[in-house]
Structure 1
Amino acid sequence: GVEFVSRPRFSSLTHTGPRKLARLPPRSVVVAFSAAEVYAMAEFVRRSRGGAAVVLGALSPRTRNAQVGMYQAGEVDYIVATDAIGMGLNMDVDHVAFAALRKFDGRAPRPLEPAELAQIAGRAGRHMNDGSFGTTADAGTIPADVVEAVENHRFPPLKALSWRNSQLRFTSVAALLASLDRPPEQAGLIRARDADDHLALAALAAAPEIARLASHPQRVKLLWEVCQIPDFRKVLDESHTRLLGRVFKHLAAPAGRLPTDWLAENVGRIDRVDGELDTIVARIANIRTWTYVAHRADWVADPDHWQGVTRAIEDRLSDALHDRLTNRFVDKRTAVLVRRLRDGGEMAAVVTGEGEVLVEGQYVGRLAGFAFLPDRTETAGAAKTVLAAALRALKTEISSRLDRLIADGDDAFTLAPDGIFWRGEAVAILAATTDSLRPGVEPPDSGLLEPPARDRLRRRLTEAAHALIGRDLAPLVRLREGGLSGAARGLAHQLVEALGSLPRQLARQQVEALSPADRTALARLGVRFGTESVFLPALLKPATQSLRALLWSTRQGCPTATPPGPKAAVMVDPALPAGFHDAVGYRVAGGVAVRVDILERFAAEARSLAKPGPFIPSRLLLSLLGLGPAATAAVLTGLGYEPDPEGRFRPIRRPKPRPRPIRANPDSPFAVLKRL
């Protein structure tokens, strides 16, 4: 008789409707119905949630168990699987999401039956823990009547069972095929679909050589046993049928066993772990077929040896496949961080001497000052996870780092084109204010600093920046605070705003208004009056030029360019913003930027040479610039000299403007008197 065993479910199974794949809860299984769909879903989960275990019917038991073990151990929170998940696997699953509601059953695509849905959805929940099921957003919705059937486990009774005749006749191949085709005689049974062994037998029976060898009952039975060698690839193509034919021919030979050399050749071809996923899956399927053969002690010599060989190869391939699946579909770093973020506890963070940040042992980026520079990630989802983990884990380190910075002296800070540095690390950028010598400071808005801490950092960095500027531009500070008045004070203001040097023409009115006492006071403060410029020579050193460039660029809101440094003159780079050279102590004449003190010497030499008349540029003029005759000629032209056909220079004589005649107003009183 037939005995039915009932296993009641102790927990409830609830339908939750469709959800986006990225919003599935942890401990979920996503079910698809082809390897391609499984791979695509697993790739998406890796990018958005850190990774997923993969379960396919084509996996070997060792690979499948390793993938499930990874999930059970909490290394990943998701599984993407085919409907193979519905049988033989016990896992802690809270939710099952169907990525499709149709499957290909070997003949044609069809909707899933309610009982099939229930079998798979039943993976959710264990013992007394409730579970849920639904679909992914693209899969549509499960009909309400099907939901009700699955939740309450109520399905229509089976009307028939599949049956295949077990009373086989081996008198001939034709008799065997006929017995397999025999329909059931009992009501409630229907003849099962032709199985792979039946199809293989029919294909081999059509081969004349096979038919000739299967000439008596023992050979027919042997042929049937050979046809039962499984094709673990589940495709039953001609290659498998040809293999079965060769096996049968060898076994039908006088030796009655498979040749050892032939067996070794076929097994050895499979013993490779290179290749892509599908290649390794195919090799595992092939070696499992040979493992089946090796367990037929009457077919092979030394079956124990061959069982060990095939099992070892299958294990190597299975381990390689597990590694490939893990490397492709698991971002271990993101998975670890997502899990720890979800747990809500403290996260262990380590900042190495090189600034590398390790959270829970995973490298997530670098800490540069008070800015976190996350490691490059493939997706926005992974980037958010890395940033969230770093922000939580670095709170203690940031607080300690801020305390150390505030306690440090001004000598721990430096100003550079990239902003203000603390012990070699950029911690802020300068910001423009109305005062050229007292710029603002903006710490990075990285999310690591709460507003009060950010304000503390800004105040300390502002103090340090102003102290460094006051030290390195001390002549300007003294000039501004020198107690000057009148025209001297106005000129001092212009020099401070210009960061230490002015074209004489721009300061002409203030210079002409200076009294002898004003000139003396300004000279004591380091101001030099040249024919071309008014400047402070102490601010022309390369280090001071760099600071002037930084302050000017901050005020202009443009990137900080590199000043000429120790060079007396350079050709003007048209890419540099206008006014840059003036700000760092150079004057542009004829497309050449000349340091203002050198330009004074150059202009004085030119005037001396021009007194007797037209002149050829002297060696001194050439050496002052160090750029060659063409640049020297260009500067002379910029200073108001012109060359004659012989290459001699003389000052350009500009004609004095003629006074414009004043036309008398005919209606004026004087015009009226004249007419009288």
Structure 2
Amino acid sequence: MCAHSSGAIGFPLRLLAREVYDRVVAIKGEAQVALITGEQRIEPPTARYFLCTVEAMPYRRPGGGGGPEGDFAFVALDEAQLAADRERGHIFTDRLLHFRGREETMLLGSATLEPLVKQLEPQAEMIERPRFSTLKHIGARKLSRLPPRSAIVAFSAEQVYGVAEMLRRFRGGSAVVMGALSPETRNRQVELFQSGEVDYIVATDAIGMGLNLDLNHVAFAGLTKFDGIRQRRLLPAEMAQIAGRAGRHQRDGTFGVLTGASGKGRSAASPPEFTEDEIFAIEEHRFAPLTRLFWREAEPRFDTVEMLIADLEASPENPALAAAPEALDLAVLKRLHEDGLTSSVRGSASIRRFWEACSLPDFRSQGTDMHARFVGRLWQDLREGYLGADYVAARISELDNVQGDIDTLQGRIAAIRSWAYICQRPDWVMARDEMAARARAAEAKLSDALHARLTERFVNRRTAILMKTVGQDAGLLPISLNDDGVVLVEDEEIGRIEGFRFVVDPAAGHEDHRMLVAAAEKALPRILAERATKLIDSEFAGASIEQGAIIWQGRKLALLELRDGQVRPDVVLGRDLSLLPDASRTRLTEALEAWLSKKLEPLAPLEKLQEATRDPQAGSQARALLHKLVAGHGFVSRENAGLDHLPKELRPFLRRLGVTFGALDIFVVSLLKPAPRRLLHDLGIDRRPLQADMLPVLKTIRKLPSGYRPAGDQAIRIDLAEKILRAAHDARGKTQSQKFAFDSALAISIGLEESSFRRLMQAGGFRISQGRALPEAAFGPPAPDRWGWRPSRRKPQGRKPARGKGKPKTVGEGNPFGALADLVR
């Protein structure tokens, strides 16, 4: 066509017209190329090349250029064998018979059309384009055994969805192509397959026309279809039209049937298996020629509605032609005529306009009755003139909604296509160009949403990527880790790294779990090594010590194992780091030990006590007390300290280590601060209850926290209890009498209640004498309470004396235990 000065091509599908339009524009430029379909019209005034759907092919040159019908240098009709189609055949037949180019006319189609073309146009030249590749039948295949780059053809939406769901589960998904999809959505789905993002495409028989795909195999999920009248088996030529999608140019293709596919689209009386004759016909490209083409009067008379119907039902005179079955437009015309809607339609212009309304395609596939009602309502508005722009804009706005499931969006797209068709008519809508643009924009938006829904439902891109690596080195997968800890394969999430442990994406199905883990494990050593390096460089930001372990991002990074009597624990990396390379493990361990040393600085006084237990100059008595202080994690009660055996000359040595000899406890003050107590608890060294802030006094006590001693119903920190008792002893030392006054203000300022203060004083050996109450009617301050110190006198622990004279019983001579008795004494 581009070699001629002008031309027009008629296509069976608008997506084909659009595809070729884009190619011609690239050669000739936009100003010289027009696109005319039922729903879209791009028609520059200077256009010389027209790409159209067959129904929209112009009989006259547009743009006011005038000229006779068919005034194009070149004319072509694609898929001309569709002249035998029950619904649209008469349109193709009309173009085949009457549309001619001045210089050249091409009829492109199947060889089955050749005898009829020779009969209708004896002078036509026949040019055959042989297939360079072979098509081979390979029998039945299960879904799990289908080769990559396969198309599965089904004949109902239910079966298409069912097969697509199974492919998503086991093969990562598929593209979906159905006649009910908008061309934009169909193209987007085809691109999903062509780009290699998925290896399978599930389609209806719409795949057999107008789709050039990179296919290796075509599998039929069924061999019967409903043709609008009855359920019938596909003709061999129809099977070949679909199977012929496999293989391209010189690359061979295969076809067969799919086993295990369920759905109502398959007839139980016709199992999905090719006969030998059908296989031979498809492989050898030999099919029975067409015996007739459907014809209908292309230029009926519009004098009356009855005459219009009679002309449309007239029979052809040529034996090669047959009267077309009643198409939808004629059925709608007759239905509305029977309903009396045509009673007010008078004059050829009005009747022609009414017939144009009846020719509105049924994009919604609602059937004759529902479609006739829609056309009837449309005619009620058109009868008075134009449809108002506001009315049309409101209808388009109602449909411009991307919410809903696949079926809902398909319904809206079908409805918006009806309005796009209405807006393209030259005398139907006010502000036609603006309304047509709105309709196209709404369809594009809905098509994008539908593509997204189909992809979301039927494509698991992650599984598709991993399936392509089956049998290959999974270490070559482009696995990466983003800043949020998400593990990606070609930007698809397969899981997360929590700490140093890989956790599979919880949204993954059970069947994908093992595959995702296997894919991740190949890259985990590298990813974990990089993660360890970042953690070390950040100086372990976010890490903490909890329950005897180092925790990072909620996972155990390392365990802190304590040996007997040891304050500083050993660092043992957790199981999550088992895949970490040896060099990274060593570096991480050393860095953790250095980090832990800084964290353990508040426990330096406890380490000094532990070191002193190994000092031979301390003496056995001091070392015994140090062992008790280390075991008590910084304090021990005086009654359990064994001070009776500690020489007084060793006390200065212990005080230099920070040991305080209190009235009730022996303790190290610096170890009673919040930081060391918290560390001892987090390390698991001190398992007693923790009071994190180490408040001076606790009001209620269930279990005595570490570092506190009871005082009535309260608990007081050990060092503050000593402060109160020390003040009491100081007050006692300033008086010569046995009784002394001691103000409870210090204890109350710390937080002790009066009763708790008295209990603490009693525990420290003090006894209270209540002050006398004032006589009745006397005035003045009451007499203060007086305190006295009466330390408890406990009997020394040892062997009880014998009864009688208080002397131990002597051992008789000759008794073999006599020497032992002497040693005991």
TM-score, L = length of structure 1: 0.69
The answer to whether the 8 A contact 1:374-1:383 is kept is yes
From the CA coordinates, give the structure whose radius of gyration is larger: 2
Residue of structure 2 in register with 1:597 after alignment: 719
The yes-or-no answer on 1:265 pairing with 2:388 is no
Q: Distance in 2 between matches of 1:96 and 1:504?
A: 91
The yes-or-no answer on 1:478 pairing with 2:602 is no
The yes-or-no answer on 1:139 pairing with 2:258 is no
The yes-or-no answer on 1:618 pairing with 2:763 is no
Q: Which amino acid aligns with 2:636?
A: L
Structure 1's 295 and 458: CA in aligned 2 closer, same or farther, altered over 3 A? Answer: closer
The answer to whether the 8 A contact 2:217-2:253 is kept is no
- Pick from 550, 556, 565: which aligns with 2:693? 565
Structure 1's 649 and 14: CA in aligned 2 closer, same or farther, altered over 3 A? Answer: farther
Residue of structure 1 in register with 2:134 after alignment: 10
Alignment of 1:311-460 (within 5 A): 313-326=439-452, 329-330=455-456, 335=461, 339=465, 342=468, 345=476, 347=478, 349=480, 370=500, 396=526, 398-400=528-530, 402=532, 416-417=545-546, 420=550, 428-435=557-564, 437-443=567-573, 445-446=575-576, 449-450=579-580, 452-453=582-583, 455-457=585-587, 459-460=589-590
Q: Distance in 2 between matches of 1:38 and 1:220?
A: 42
1:7-38 deviations in Å (ceiling 9; x for gaps):
58525454564346xx9876555666665776
Q: Which amino acid aligns with 2:440?
A: E
Please state how far the C-alpha of 1:440 moved relative to its aligned partner: 4.2
The answer to whether the 8 A contact 1:359-1:390 is kept is no
Please state how far the C-alpha of 1:547 moved relative to its aligned partner: 1.3
Count of residue correspondences: 633
Structure 1's 118 and 486: CA in aligned 2 closer, same or farther, altered over 3 A? Answer: farther
Alignment of 1:50-449 (within 5 A): 53-77=175-199, 79=201, 81-93=203-215, 123=245, 126-127=248-249, 128=251, 130=253, 135=258, 139=262, 146=273, 152=279, 166=296, 195-210=327-342, 212-213=343-344, 223-236=354-367, 238=369, 240-248=371-379, 259-262=385-388, 265-266=391-392, 268-271=394-397, 273-277=400-404, 278=407, 280-293=409-422, 296-297=425-426, 299-300=427-428, 306=432, 309-310=435-436, 313-326=439-452, 329-330=455-456, 335=461, 339=465, 342=468, 345=476, 347=478, 349=480, 370=500, 396=526, 398-400=528-530, 402=532, 416-417=545-546, 420=550, 428-435=557-564, 437-443=567-573, 445-446=575-576, 449=579
Q: Distance in 2 between matches of 1:202 and 1:641?
A: 118
Q: Which amino acid aligns with 1:18?
A: K
Ranges in structure 2 where 5+ consecutive residues have no aligned partner:
1-111, 116-127, 774-784, 804-825
Counterpart secondary structure, 1:428: strand
Please state how far the C-alpha of 1:493 moved relative to its aligned partner: 3.1
Please state how far the C-alpha of 1:52 moved relative to its aligned partner: 5.2
Please state how far the C-alpha of 1:181 moved relative to its aligned partner: 7.8
Q: Which amino acid aligns with 1:567?
A: L
The answer to whether the 8 A contact 1:431-1:441 is kept is yes
Alignment of 1:21-60 (within 5 A): 27=149, 53-60=175-182
- Pick from 679, 687, 697: which aligns with 1:547? 679
The answer to whether the 8 A contact 1:364-1:375 is kept is yes
Please state how far the C-alpha of 1:403 moved relative to its aligned partner: 5.5
The answer to whether the 8 A contact 1:42-1:329 is kept is no
Please state how far the C-alpha of 1:514 moved relative to its aligned partner: 3.5
Q: Distance in 1 between matches of 2:448 and 2:626?
A: 76
Q: Distance in 1 between matches of 2:226 and 2:765?
A: 91
Residue of structure 1 in register with 2:123 after alignment: none
Q: Which amino acid aligns with 2:114?
A: E
Q: Which structure exhibits the higher relative contact order, with contacts defined as CA atoms closer than 8 Å and separated by 6 or more residues?
A: 1
Q: Which amino acid aligns with 1:282?
A: G
Q: Which amino acid aligns with 1:236?
A: G
Structure 1's 471 and 334: CA in aligned 2 closer, same or farther, altered over 3 A? Answer: farther
Q: Distance in 2 between matches of 1:15 and 1:440?
A: 67
Please state how far the C-alpha of 1:598 moved relative to its aligned partner: 1.6
Residue of structure 2 in register with 1:496 after alignment: 630
Q: Distance in 2 between matches of 1:432 and 1:594?
A: 32
Q: Percent identity?
A: 31
The answer to whether the 8 A contact 2:225-2:232 is kept is yes
- Pick from 524, 542, 566: which aligns with 2:656? 524
Q: Which amino acid aligns with 1:205?
A: H
Structure 1's 385 and 269: CA in aligned 2 closer, same or farther, altered over 3 A? Answer: farther
- Pick from 590, 593, 608: which aligns with 1:463? 593
1:287-308 deviations in Å (ceiling 9; x for gaps):
43344445555x5489xx7367
The answer to whether the 8 A contact 1:288-1:310 is kept is no
Q: Which amino acid aligns with 1:288?
A: R
1:374-424 deviations in Å (ceiling 9; x for gaps):
88857678888887777666755643554677799x9999754485489x9
1:345-376 deviations in Å (ceiling 9; x for gaps):
46374755x87888756788887765668888
Please state how far the C-alpha of 1:326 moved relative to its aligned partner: 1.9
Structure 1's 290 and 477: CA in aligned 2 closer, same or farther, altered over 3 A? Answer: closer
Q: Which amino acid aligns with 2:372?
A: T
Q: Distance in 1 between matches of 2:192 and 2:294?
A: 40
* Alignment root-mean-square deviation, CA: 6.0
Counterpart secondary structure, 1:260: coil
Counterpart secondary structure, 1:242: helix
Please state how far the C-alpha of 1:235 moved relative to its aligned partner: 0.9
Q: Distance in 2 between matches of 1:249 and 1:607?
A: 111
1:236-281 deviations in Å (ceiling 9; x for gaps):
3655323323555677x6xxxx723446623552146324255553
Please state how far the C-alpha of 1:461 moved relative to its aligned partner: 4.8
Q: Distance in 1 between matches of 2:386 and 2:445?
A: 27
Structure 1's 604 and 453: CA in aligned 2 closer, same or farther, altered over 3 A? Answer: same
Alignment of 1:644-659 (within 5 A): none
Structure 1's 154 and 359: CA in aligned 2 closer, same or farther, altered over 3 A? Answer: closer
Q: Distance in 2 between matches of 1:498 and 1:136?
A: 76
Q: Which amino acid aligns with 1:273?
A: D
Please state how far the C-alpha of 1:232 moved relative to its aligned partner: 0.4
Q: Which amino acid aligns with 1:196?
A: L
Please state how far the C-alpha of 1:230 moved relative to its aligned partner: 0.6
The yes-or-no answer on 1:586 pairing with 2:720 is no
Q: Which amino acid aligns with 1:245?
A: G
Please state how far the C-alpha of 1:329 moved relative to its aligned partner: 3.1
The answer to whether the 8 A contact 1:100-1:139 is kept is no
Q: Distance in 2 between matches of 1:105 and 1:377?
A: 41
Q: Which amino acid aligns with 1:500?
A: G
Ranges in structure 1 where 5+ consecutive residues have no aligned partner:
663-676
Q: Which amino acid aligns with 2:337?
A: A
Q: Distance in 1 between matches of 2:220 and 2:791?
A: 92
Q: Distance in 2 between matches of 1:634 and 1:193?
A: 111
Q: Distance in 2 between matches of 1:337 and 1:244?
A: 47
Which is further off, 315-324 or 426-435?
426-435
Higher helix share: 1
Q: Distance in 2 between matches of 1:332 and 1:241?
A: 35
Structure 1's 614 and 371: CA in aligned 2 closer, same or farther, altered over 3 A? Answer: farther
Which is further off, 221-230 or 185-194?
185-194
Counterpart secondary structure, 2:684: helix
